[in-house]
Chain A
Amino acid sequence: MAIGGTFDPFHRGHRTLIDAAFSLGDEVVIGVSSDELARRMGKAPDRTFGERACELLEYLESKYRDRVYSLHKLDDPFGPLASDPSIEALVVSPETEGRGRAANEIRRSRGLREVDIIRMDFVLAEDGEPISSTRIRRGEIDKEGRILEGAERGMGLGVDSLHPLERRVLAALRGSGGPLDVDGIAAASGLSPDQVRRAVEWLRSKGMVRVEWEVRRVAVPGPEARRILEEGLPEDRLLRELESSGGELGIPELAGRLRMDSQELSASLGRLSRGGYVSISRGRVRALRGEPYSRISLDLLRRLVDAGELPLDGLSPSEASALDELSRRPGVIEVREVRRARVSLAEGAPALQPAAGSAEEVTQLTPEDISTGRWRSLRLSRLDVVSPVPEMHPGRRHVITEYVRRVREIFASMGFQEVSGGLLQISFWNFDALYTPQDHPARELQDTFYMDVEPTEEPPADVESAVAATHENGWRTGSTGWGYEWDPREARRVVLRTHTTVLSVRALHATRDLPVVKLFSVGEVFRNEKVDSRHLVEFHQIEGIVKSPDANLRRLMGYISEFYSRLGFRDVKFWPTYFPYTEPSLQVMVRVGGSWLEMGGMGIFRPEVTLPLGVEEPVLAWGLGLERLIMVDMGIEDARELYANRLSWLRRVPACRSWTWT
């Protein structure tokens, strides 16, 4: 049985809920909102969690110190309710009923059994309005529901406001003419005991029924009871053993034959000698009477095992003393108190006419209610619209693809056409065509992923020979070249592309006959790195080229400034840098807050790159970081977060971000 709340202030309504929980369940789990949770739910508690919990504990200790209960601090609206499989029912007020349904949603989704929701009506103050924390704080009533000022209002309780279960219970009590217990009411009303308990509790809190607790002491068999029935009492076994040995035995002999431990043996011998069944002297035991130790005890125990429980008040005096004796042996008999509610009508309970026209109250409309017109006679219960409801998770793009889409939109709207291409590339396109010498450190196994597959394609023969000559001696590019012997086999090794520039180079070759080309791509690239907060093995590059007779460095700066300004980064600056395949080369920095962050590189492709592809015009090219951009925009410190796929993050990250609509 569970119950929860903020308990600020702790008022009579709360006590009623707690009393109900203790009367309906064996164990009670009580959740108390933490200060943080209370604030989150708009409650602004006057007192701290510690103060509230203390007051609650005082009450619990004063009234239920011998019952089993536990107190939990709630940091979320559900606490143990969302995860504890042993909770079977929840006692709620109309105010917290929604929270119960929400908890059941969660339990369902986790495969836990749903809890029964036992809804208690509001406890009413003297004026017939519910006792609520707000009213108490406003000073209308005190914690007991007494009116502090203003005129007393008339009692507003009518049959009309009774729940159907309540009406059936009242009818059953009226029909019986006297007090009934829960089972009696259930039999008379056709309700389940659980429904009866709920309705009785509601009626009791409204003062319409009286509940008296009848306490009965019963005996129930303990774990040892069956063994004793089979083997007899140890005293009887002892007497039988003595008899079969001629009426006298030494204690060690006796213990050996009976295989009793010394404690049990001495307890048995003690009882037998006290009862005059045996005498003991000088270590020997002699039988004095030839009759069994106690027939009454065994008969009683058999009755108890058969019946499962025996009320103590129905026992004869000799049975009572036998029971008393048995109950001193460990594990044979337990005596328990059983509480039984005797419910009777309170004075002034309304006379019930199962009235025509009295509306049935429902929480959920059904299709039948609507189509049959039954809705006319229904009364829809007022819902608790304030309490939390289950979380819903919409389908969403991953943060990365969301940004990729935005980048695509920007370049497309700046007049660039998108290109794409394979992740696996031969080194020829990835390195050689980009004038990266074959012994360049970037081409080593420790930086680049070489894959154990056959070459995926052949480079075009004319481009290959031009590239080879350019590396070796500059070909007709006007360059000195790298001055080494170019190896065609090295150019055919398959790599996971290390940059999307490979796509630009291929596209340049494919479009070599067009005078003006503006292309972009956004794609994954791979580096053989040790992954840490700043390095990823796979990440995205934003790639673009402009081929045009009048392309120049200041226009390149212009395109990139425009791109970042459309993302909301208005302050951009450029610093010179070095790349093997562009000259001049720049890096772009954007200002974020007070600092400048490096976002990517760019430059004009070297003639050693463009001429072998059959391209005479200058070509502007850039490769910008995507992950860097996302991290800056979202304030993420660790690049691995982007690929961790934590649903808690992906589901909740707001779609409205600094750059979304700039």
Chain B
Amino acid sequence: MPVVDVDLRRLASLVRWTGPPEGLLEVIPYAGLDIESADGPLARLEYSPNRPDFATEWGIAAYLRGLLGVESGPVPLSASDSGVTITVDPGLRGVRPYVAGMVARGLRLDGEALRQLIRLQEDLHEGIGRRRRRVAIGLHDLSKVEPPIRYEAVGPGHAFVPLGERRPWTVGEILSSHELGRKYGQALPAAGPYPVLLDSAGHTLSFPPIINGEHTRVTEGTDSLFVDVTGTSLTRVLDALSVLALTLSEMGARLGYVGVRYGPLSIRTPDLSSRELRLSARRASSLLGLDLSPSDVARCLGRARIGVREVTGDVVVALVPRYRFDVMHEVDLVEEVAYGYGYPGLSPEARLDPGAGGISEQSALEEAMRDAAIGLGMQEVVTTHLTSRRLLYDLMGRTPERPIRALSSKSGEHEYLRDSLLPGLLWVLSSNAHEAYPQRIFELGSVISAAGGAVRERRSLAFAIAHARAGFTEAKSALNALVASLLGAEPSYSPSGCRRPLIEGRCASVSLGGRELGIVGEVDPSVLYSLGIQVPVSAAELDADALMDLCRDRRGARQG
């Protein structure tokens, strides 16, 4: 979740809040913002990635003024013609075809406003911009720009002084050697052409989505901005620009339209229009559990800064500002109604309806298995499904048949899916080698194998017994007792079918009624030694799915 640092004193003045600024902390959560931390008048707020308009104090204040009843209806937004145009080179069609622009005059950018504006820019890059691939934004000092502007396709040899540099770099050089070029270059075709924004004096304003030119650098005190937004989706380009339009307007700027010419076609940006979206008052009431009239709904929408064109019967025709592109569906308006209504006023409705609830058959059977193991004095443990290749195979002396690996785990300790519970149990014994013996532990969990190509997930029940005189006999006795207490039957044992980490000759495969159940035996001392376990260990692993099937068979036989 993105975060924004706010000064509650400044926020209070923007909201025209008359109480102590810290009082805003009671209100902020009900606007959908989480308070990550608060220290006196300074607070760090977390906001949803679908609300980039919350990236600055100005955007937050505009919404809060509505919820607090200071203002109602949509945030007023207007622009006049700036006379600035951008002509788009058709050669950029397959590269980064879309561009939009805007002019903002009469700003007083102090350090804080500039910092928050850049935060908003970064947030738009990361979220809606998908790491600049889909949308990238450039902010320029308008006084250094000589319109008209061209959005041109250039080759790798095109050179300019990038932001923060002293000498001209070629586009090719930036892509291969500049930090930002290496980071964002894959958004562009390797072979070119490459997009740049040039003004009529030949200055390179920007090489999107990589870096701006030094020439139009924005500093504290810059009073007029030229904003460019480029990208691969016109909708997203205009969405991003609309958030900047709202924010700059709230900062006190006069906005100016920029004309963008795609050959014969011409559009005017930013798009400050609204979308119509119809909302049924009955649906809003029903989903929220409230009894709201259509005019109640309209009033609530107004508090959430959504416009209303008209109310006809049950239907409220809402006007959704362009910057609220998170509103995709009628239900999104229902949520805005809830914001406008006020979440503190929504009370839980207790409903203890009778129902045929219950735990699943699998859970019930697994609880029976746990009870059986616990009755034998075993302590349950819970280990992870993802583990290391070292534990799963190397330390056990097993050769993986078809290991299942996570493609990009952040840690080798959580990389391979377990196909047996025994390595995990031995790991537990290893990490408890200093605890009092005897140690008898068990685990019931999922194991996954891909032997033979088909992925098979099943439940498994395993136990391990560790103490100075642990051996095969005790493990077999425990296994007999476990099966007898679950199924009232005694399993058969065969010396074949033994597997690592158990020792050949001191290990048996177990079956019941013709079904393979698993293995039981003594753990190889070489495994114990490498794990630092200093007492003998015997262990068993059983197919819990098979045990559950046998249990079902038994019940079926009794009933049928």
Binding site for B on A (CB under 8 A): 106, 108-111, 391, 393-398, 400-401, 405, 408-409, 411-420, 422-424, 439, 441, 445-446, 449-454, 456, 474, 477-481, 483, 494, 496, 518, 524, 526, 528-531, 537-538, 550, 552-555, 557-562, 572, 574-578, 583-585, 598, 604, 606-608, 618, 642-648, 650-651
B289–A415 CB distance below 8 A? no
Q: Which residues of A contact B287 (CB under 8 A)?
A: 552-553, 584, 604, 618
A578–B289 CB distance below 8 A? no
A575–B30 CB distance below 8 A? yes
B404–A401 CB distance below 8 A? no
6 further A-B pairs in the complex, CB-CB below 8 A; given A538-B386, A578-B48: A397-B380, A412-B357, A452-B407, A496-B406, A550-B286, A646-B431
Q: How far is the CB of A375 from chain B (nearest CB, A)?
A: 31
Q: Known contacts A496-B406, A554-B348: does B362 contact A578 (CB below 8 Å)?
A: no
A576–B339 CB distance below 8 A? yes
Q: Which residues of B contact A418 (CB under 8 A)?
A: 358-360, 363
Show 26 residue pairs from A and B whose CB-CB distance is below 8 angstroms, ordered by the A residue: A109-B436, A110-B437, A111-B535, A395-B440, A418-B359, A441-B49, A449-B406, A449-B407, A451-B405, A452-B404, A452-B405, A478-B329, A478-B330, A529-B410, A537-B411, A553-B338, A554-B348, A557-B346, A558-B349, A576-B335, A577-B32, A577-B34, A577-B48, A583-B334, A606-B331, A607-B329
Q: Does B368 contact A (CB under 8 A)?
A: no
User: Which 7 interchain pairs have the tightest Cβ spacing?
Assistant: A415-B355, A554-B289, A578-B48, A552-B289, A557-B348, A111-B468, A395-B374
Q: How far is the CB of B154 from chain A (nearest CB, A)?
A: 28
B233–A483 CB distance below 8 A? yes
Contact of A644 among B347, B352, B410, B431 (CB under 8 A): B431
- List the A residue with the shortest CB-CB distance to B384: A538
Contact of B346 among A395, A422, A531, A553 (CB under 8 A): A553
A553–B329 CB distance below 8 A? no
Task: For the complex, give the distance between the alpha carbons of A578 and B353 in Å.
Answer: 28
Q: Does B197 contact A (CB under 8 A)?
A: no
B409–A528 CB distance below 8 A? yes
Q: How far is the CB of B363 from chain A (nearest CB, A)?
A: 6
Interface size class of B (residues with CB under 8 A): 35 or more
Q: Which residues of A contact B77 (CB under 8 A)?
A: none
A-B pair number, CB within 8 angstroms: 260
B343–A576 CB distance below 8 A? yes
Q: Does B157 contact A (CB under 8 A)?
A: no
Q: Known contacts A109-B467, A420-B360: does B351 contact A648 (CB below 8 Å)?
A: no
Contact of A398 among B330, B382, B453, B535 (CB under 8 A): B382
Contact of B457 among A423, A584, A618 (CB under 8 A): A423
B383–A528 CB distance below 8 A? no
B448–A423 CB distance below 8 A? yes
Q: Which residues of A contact B473 (CB under 8 A)?
A: none
Contact of B446 among A111, A419, A423, A453 (CB under 8 A): A423
Q: Known contacts A528-B406, A554-B348: does B379 contact A415 (CB below 8 Å)?
A: no
Q: Does B438 contact A (CB under 8 A)?
A: yes
Q: How far is the CB of A580 from chain B (nearest CB, A)?
A: 8
A454–B411 CB distance below 8 A? no
Q: Which residues of A contact B375 (CB under 8 A)?
A: 395
- List the A residue with the shortest CB-CB distance to B334: A584
Q: Which residues of B contact A531 (CB under 8 A)?
A: 411, 413-414
B428–A645 CB distance below 8 A? yes
Q: Which residues of B contact A529 (CB under 8 A)?
A: 410
- List the A residue with the shortest CB-CB distance to B290: A554
Task: For the complex, give the distance between the alpha carbons of A419 and B361 in Å.
Answer: 9
A395–B288 CB distance below 8 A? no
A496–B386 CB distance below 8 A? yes
Task: For the complex, give the distance between the alpha carbons of A247 and B130 in Å.
Answer: 108
Q: Which residues of A contact B30 (CB under 8 A)?
A: 575-576
Q: Known contacts A578-B50, A645-B381: does B357 contact A393 (CB below 8 Å)?
A: no
Q: Known contacts A413-B357, A606-B331: does B535 contact A106 (CB below 8 Å)?
A: no
Q: Does B94 contact A (CB under 8 A)?
A: no
Q: Which residues of B contact A524 (CB under 8 A)?
A: 385, 446
Q: Which residues of B contact A557 (CB under 8 A)?
A: 346-349
B350–A558 CB distance below 8 A? yes
Q: How far is the CB of B17 from chain A (nearest CB, A)?
A: 20
Task: For the complex, give the distance between the alpha carbons of A453 and B402 in Å.
Answer: 10
A451–B352 CB distance below 8 A? no
A109–B468 CB distance below 8 A? yes
Q: Does B222 contact A (CB under 8 A)?
A: no
A396–B380 CB distance below 8 A? yes
Q: Known contacts A480-B329, A574-B343, A578-B51: does B408 contact A528 (CB below 8 Å)?
A: yes
- List the B residue with the shortest CB-CB distance to A481: B328
A575–B288 CB distance below 8 A? no
Contact of A576 among B329, B338, B357, B417 (CB under 8 A): B338
Indicate with 1 or 0, residue by residue over B182-219, a CB within 8 angstroms of chain A CB atoms: 00000000000000000000000000000000000000
Q: Does B401 contact A (CB under 8 A)?
A: no
Task: For the complex, give the distance between the alpha carbons of A572 and B346 in Å.
Answer: 13
B404–A408 CB distance below 8 A? no
Task: For the complex, give the distance between the alpha carbons of A651 and B347 in Å.
Answer: 42
Task: For the complex, give the distance between the alpha carbons of A554 and B377 in Å.
Answer: 46
Interface centre among B382, B404, B441, B453 (most CB of A within 10 A): B382
Interface residues of B in 391-411 (CB under 8 A from A): 404-411
